[in-house]
Structure 1
Amino acid sequence: MFLFLYLCHSVSAQIYYSIFEEMQKDSSIGNLVNDLGLNINEISLRKLRIVSEFSTKYFNVKTGNGHLVVADRIDREALCGAAEECFLTFDAVIENPLNIYHVRVDIKDINDNPPRFKYEIIEIKITEHTSPGVQFALRNAEDLDVGINSLQSYKLSANKHFVLGEKANTDLNTIPELVLMVPLDRETEGNLDIILTAFDGGNPMQTGTAIIRITVVDINDNIPKFDQEVYKVSINENIPMNSTILQVKASDKDEGINSQITYSFTTTSQHVTSTFAINSTNGEIKTKENLDFEMKKNYEISVQALDGGGLVSNVKVFIQILDENDNTPDITVTSITDTVSEDSAPNTVVALIKVHDLDSGENGEVDCQIIGTLPFKLQLSSGSFYKVVTTSRLDREIQSYYNITIQATDHGSPPLSFIKTIALNVSDINDNPPIFEKELFIVYLPENNQPGASIYTIQAMDKDTEENGKLTYSIISTEELPFNSYITINPVSGIVYAQQSFDFEQYKQFEVHIMAKDKGSPSLNSSAVIRICVTDQNDNLPTILYPSPDAGGSTAYEMVPFSSEQGSLVTKVVAVDADSGHNAWLSYHLLEDSETSYIVIDQNTGVIRTARIFQERHLLKHRAVVIVKDNGFPPLSATVTLNLIVTSNLQQALPELSNPSRKTDSQTNVQIYLVIAIAVISFFFLLTVMSVIISKYRESKSLSTFSSIAAYPQIDPSFFPTYNNGTLSLPYSYDVCVTLDPRETEVGFLQPNQHVAVKSLIDEDNLCVEKEMRKDSIVLHYSIVEEMRKDSIVTNIAQELGLHVKELVHRNLRIVSRVEKYFSVDLETGNLFVKDRIDRETLCRTETKISP
């Protein structure tokens, strides 16, 4: 087979090829890669491919050499019928960058179909009286080829009666005619067979034959005649099956059987005979199956009318199919990106789609849009191709994936739509730093903790995923101590461990700065502060300051005047505890024995007083053991032994002081001791007289200068917390008036009313302090709230009075009042604190001031 190929380039970005039908499989059509301006190496890289719903069956691209080849047998007659033009189209798509080329392949006809008659025998009846020159129309042959390969001429076999004539009909087709030259004689020759041969113009030429069987009958000199030369009709493609679309009608002037007409199709096209049927009696043409505009747009049918005498006439019927909007638009995804980075720039292409509709005209015009409010839009690329591009930057933390719904709607009436959904994932970048729940975390840790124990777990959140969201924790700094020796942190779990045991008396609180850092590139971090508050435990024994504990076997002696009244002050046990809060609350107790009935001790202050008036029969020397307990759990304690000498004068007590364990049976030693005692008593007597004189002098001087205390500057409220070790905080106030006479003390409760001016805010419980100086005494005003906690410190009374802490015991500072149950003074620190619950409604229900 001779193959004719040519290539033509158009300025409209279309590539044209022309080939003959019936080419062998894998026959080369042309080098598509060269025609596109590419090289062989770019075929795979740029993903060269053919995009078509129909043409991909017949064509393929060889990746090795870039040639466009035939993939399957191409039959022009099956594709295009008798149409003069026959072509196949497809789109060549390349990527990186994306481009589309339209390719058209024209299919040229070859002489592969001979002329064919519908019937191999053509029967004609001719009356014997037919005059010479009468023409008898024959059934024409059909050739499916076109152009020069189609039907060209006819030839009649040799005979003595007929010659061949030709007639052109309205569509310029040639119809053979049998022309009678010599009249027929039925009696001489009743039947006559003549061969009619049809020739096409191909090379080599092909022919088709039919036998013309002539029967000579009596005269029938009128042929059927149609009422129209050409029939044309237009019908919709959705017309129901078995519907009448047209009726042809022919008439014959003959009578009897010669006027009876029979209608039939003369075409051999299977498209016609399978789609339409004609009623042979009345000429109605009906549909045999559903029509489809997209399959075939028009039909040309030859209809023949045959009368009873054997005469026929032919007419052309043209049927045009009108398009209906019966095809939904279709969306094909030709290229797609499954994942797009959240930092992709706007106008990033994520998919390429093709929209097409099999309908034509307005029914085939399609609009495409994205449904919903999404950061994507459609851009028309070329022809029916659209790009799906981003309109703004994406944020995976807000939305990690998108279902992009694309709707295609045609312009038909009513319009038809098609919806296609594209799934798109958004990949993460490290754009979110770790975030702690808060900036400051407060942790309470008991002292004496186990080294290596976990004390807290700190966590941060990162909105990113995978490596960008994996966090590591580290300590970056501490406020007061080297963190690497005290605190460590698990870098993965965020568990904070104590490497050493903490001591509340050394560190009460400190801060550790924790940094959380992700594993992104570049990595992001944030920090938070853990404030570790060490809480106190009862790990310190009370320490007795006065009297000093026994040292080297020495004994503490206290002299008690024999004439002391009941309740007279004997001495005071002073103790402190290095712990804090409840663990530092101390209570004083006497060990129960037979000698302790002469004295009592205040459990809260440690003040020892006489329990009764002494008689002559009572012992001169008394021994008492005082135990000091704290309020911890379990409680810790310390003891001190006191020797009390009850005497009227120093001489009586001297023998006991000199030798508490003398023997009564040693007269010699007694005499010696008496001499020594007399000398010592005399010395102490003189010393006592001098001390009293000096003391009186100092007391008189204090009376004249005591009013000058008002000259002391106002105490800064920030000073008070320095005296708060081992106790609770300061939330209360009251009035204390101190005179030089220990028997004269005034304590008054004042309502926090308009007469008390608030000078400074001392604590979170609204402690307000004001001092008021009077001419005859010192009045300290404090305003407190009721229901304060027990042992809450109000102020440092020693500082308020301008006294040194060491002077408190010597000058016997104390509260003497019926409200003594509510307040107490710690003589070691000078702190004034609350002893018992204060209920304002109970104290001040009927009076506004209590002043004993």
Structure 2
Amino acid sequence: MEFKTGAMLEIFLFLIVDIYLCLGEIRYSVPEEMRRGSVIGKVTKDLGVNMKTLESRNPRIEFEGRTRYCDINQQSGDLVVNERLDREELCGQKPSCTLTFDFFMENPLELHRVTLEIQDINDNVPTFPHNEIYLEIRESADKGERFSVDEALDPDAGLNSVQRYTLSVNEHFSFAVHTNADTTKHAEIILENELDREKQDHHSLILTAYDGGNPPKSGTVMIHVRVLDANDNKPVFTQTVYKVSVPENAPLDTVVVAVSATDADEGINADVTYEFSHISMRAKSIFSIDQKTGEIKLKGPMDFEDTSSYEMHVKAKDGVGQAASCKVIVDVTDVNDNAPVIFIKSLKTPFPENEPSGSEVAVIYVQDKDTESSGKVKCFFQPNTPFKLSPSIKNHFSLTTIERLDREKVSEYNITITAVDEGSPPLSSSISLIVSVGDVNDNPPVFERQSYSAYLTENNKPESSVCTVAARDPDWRQNGSVFYSLVPSEIGGLSVSSFLSINGDTGVISAVRTFDYERFRDLTIQVMARDNGSPALSSNVTVRVFLTDENDNPPQILYPAPQENSIMTEVVPKSALSGSLVSKVIAVDADSGQNAWLSYSIVKATDAGLFTIGVHSGEIRTQRDISESDLMRQSLIIAVRDNGQPSLSTSCAVHLVISDNLAEITDLKYANHQQDNSRLTLYLIIALVSVSTFFLTFIILIIAARFCQRKKPRLLFDTAVAIPSTHLPPTYAEMEGAGTLHSSYNYDTYLTTGSRTSDFKFLTSYNENTLLADHTLRKGSNDIINLSGECFSRESNEVCTCLSR
């Protein structure tokens, strides 16, 4: 050991003397967007490097980020562009844009800091935020008013950014850029001449932005200016005098004439309303005018024998009071003025939908004051309805059904009945009657789905919502109101109501208790929807509730099993090579899916570089060959973590002993007692033994070493370690691909360290067939290997030879 330490010290001092570290800084300035492979500068020439030894010194460039923007040509020593250099992408609008990286050379080691200044080029055009700008300006706007517009943007810097604007030639607008006190700029359009919407209601302008490049680049935007109206025009009637003729028996609400006026303004200034400005009391009781449309209608009867002509004046006003007037003359013509009058004698409404075909709905009476043929009337109504109108006693008609009604298809019928006399010309009148269809409870509730599926995470809070069922009943009122309930059933011998409940009004299904995924995976229930009709109708639907797993179980370590009074120790042969399997941590998780995916890691170790553990397998292997300098006792703290969110973990301790001799392992237990003796006594004993028996001890050590070489047991091996059998928990079930323990990793027995006479059993694996109904594991073979290298079969007592590496 003293020789090795001295040699290492000499090598370390030699390396310190041999390494030469040189720090320097050089700068280059290049324009952006250079092609890949373009030469930035000759680094070797600037640093005075010998080109003959350049390639052997392994020159290289290292950036702090992932992108290598530059590289070194090892043959020529040129610094070349490796990736696209975009100043706007790297530095944005910063006034200065630089990249820094390190230039290395070896034999001797040199390090130089290189700064690359990227210069801006005019590679971007000014662009506006939008392709078009829309402005609205009132025609009454004063000259000199300013209107803000969006500025153009240019990602370039300095003179290559936006420098000036131009506006297309026009007589009304100019353009200016205003700079605030905080140096921010605002683009504005200035009104130079007053606008007139009636002459031109829209202006189109082109705004162009130029940068300061050479040659300059430009971008344009279209500005649409809409001129808003001001009330500078009054309404104008299409006619100054309207003259019409109306028969005396014209029905009420008949449009006599429609006056019309227009306004050249826009918006509210062009909204025209109409009213009578001069009208007699008699005419006012007969005629009405629609303020919006200008329609003059009859609101009272006219009689030619009373008045043959009516004269009235109509005024039209716009939104702010501008007005105009016209004259309306109505001439009344004499005709057969006694039209039939229709009366509804009886009407059965609502009419029950379950009434048979041919039932009477209404009785209608028609009256006509005329005589002879003018007093005879006929009645009819629109076709394609489930009714018919049949004549009965004089001038009486019966309205009956021709088929059974269905309220869910049509709940109401609007029937217009017209009566026509046989006069010349014939007169007629109409009346509308509404027949409502009364509801009967003839439809059961219908669920929106044929079945429902819901998902609920375990460990839920009681009364948490699971899902909502909904049923619709096309009937009306109480016949269509739906009430929900659970169909009585049992789940695992308990009533379904002890698991779930439902809101009878809303159909919301809630959990009554907290569920455990490891106990229940899904629940199937029946929900009944019942209406409030008499008799009540109902329907059922199946609801299946699937429980989803939550990471509520930490990993359970099966091996090494926790011991109260003893520590389980694994034996590692001193001849173990790198990668040798020395032990295995076996763990399972009661959860499922990714919550049961386990990963293993070493939290603490006596020698951090000696052992490693498989992340997913849990196998503990050596990272390097075992050396004589390694401590005999090694302890590992292993953490087992699942893949849940949040993840849960469990830890265990694995104790390893590096030895080829079982006697050393046993004596190891008593070594700690001797460490408590006084140091002075130990020094005296060591001195006495060293002086008195040095020569005798040397001879004994030589004889013992030769004896051990002959009698060294071959029971230990490189890459296989026996692991004690263990019982899996009753709830454990193997799942392929789920991340839990695979059956091929269950082992039989191991070599104990607490006894000098323990037998060593051959390493065996378990398969699926060895897990019995009582949840215990049994060996697939009864062969046992003893310490002398021979194995015995308990069944045949035959002797076999065991080989070791």
Q: How does the TM-score come out when normalised to structure 2?
A: 0.43
Q: How does the TM-score come out when normalised to structure 1?
A: 0.41
Higher gyration radius (CA)? 1
